[in-house]
Amino acid sequence: MRRKVRVLVVEGSAVTRRILTAILAADREIEVAGAVAGVQDAHEVTVRLRPDVLTLDVALLSRRGLPSLERLMRASQTPVVLVSPPTRKGREMTLLALELGAAGVVRMPSRELVRRMPDVVSEMLGAVKAAARARTEPDAPTGRGAPSAASVIAVGASTGGTDAIQRFLMAMRPDAPGLVIVQHMPERFTHAFAERCNGLCPVRVREATDGDLVRPGHALIAPGNLHMRVRRDGQGYRVLLEHGPPVNGHRPSIDVLFTSTAAAVGRNAVGVILTGMGADGARGLSAMKRAGARTLAQDEASCVVFGMPREAIALGAVDHVLPLSELGRVALELCRGRLR
């Protein structure tokens, strides 16, 4: 039986502390190790309790207090999941904390909290479990040889995906094919996520802008609240960003990315569906497979939520089901034509 994830709740409001503690304790895979009211308290308690993950109320942060958070993360090596309030200051502090290395963020809605509470609970549990798994390093890539310049790797993820995408990208080589990525994430957070990945991964990672070329050694992450499509441009490819209506309840949508990649890139693409709730990406991955692309899905054991990979597998859209630690290596091998 897998050991429970031990969580320390850092929350300024006593009422919210009780609510978060109850949400986390209700999950059979999580144990609440303790709850404190401030970052300074967390320093001492983390040393004593040694939690696997901290949840942190972003309202506790200030620019002057950010060095204390950075010291806490460096000293304890404990992943931090941010609980971000719907305020301008909260958004600013969230982005700064993500740049310091926070593992994930749960965004609290500005209204209709009671109606949206199931979504908040789902995001909270998924983010905590993903952060706990962030300590597992991916296997080093073993493939050699140059990939085709015409190849494109398209990746989609949702709940638990920030860690999964980071680990996938860490398995890339500096000359990897161009990557296009959709992670279900709120607007304005994708930039900080891309910056975080860029500081850790062999390829250059950034938030996409409209008209960007898809280039070897580069990964483009769709901005929050914008769909991203791949279009052929001569012998290469560009991404187009658009508002459009949500697809499968999401903008950006993985189906939008995958379907456009199928049409533009065809058999020279590799599609990868990672951890996430719901069915976004399944139909798009099926379109990629029909167009001749090779397709991969993260296996259940390494997923935080197996929903999206399960739906893609059920559609017959997946060629290989693999643990997260293998996906990057196999994607590169497929681009080099060494596997089919």
List the catalytic residues: 158, 184, 280
Q: Both tokens of residue 169?
A: 């990208």
CA-based nearest residue to 161, from 202, 196, 126:
126
| Half-sphere exposure for 311 (CA within 13 Å, toward CB) | 18
C-beta contacts of 15-22 below 8 A and 24+ residues apart: 16/57, 20/55, 20/83, 20/124
Instruction: Write the DSSP symbol of residue 177.
Output: P
Alpha-carbon gap, residue 192 to 18, rounded angstroms: 30
Alpha-carbon gap, residue 208 to 142, rounded angstroms: 29
- Greatest Cα pair distance in the chain: 60
* Residues 282/317, Cβ–Cβ less than 8 Å: yes
The count of other CB atoms within 10 Å of the CB of residue 338 is 12
**Residue 321, strand partner residues:** 297
DSSP per-residue string spanning 27-81: STTEEEEEEESSHHHHHHHHHHH--SEEEEEGGG--TTTHHHHHHHHHHH---EE
Residues contacting residue 114 through CB under 8 Å, at least 6 positions apart: none
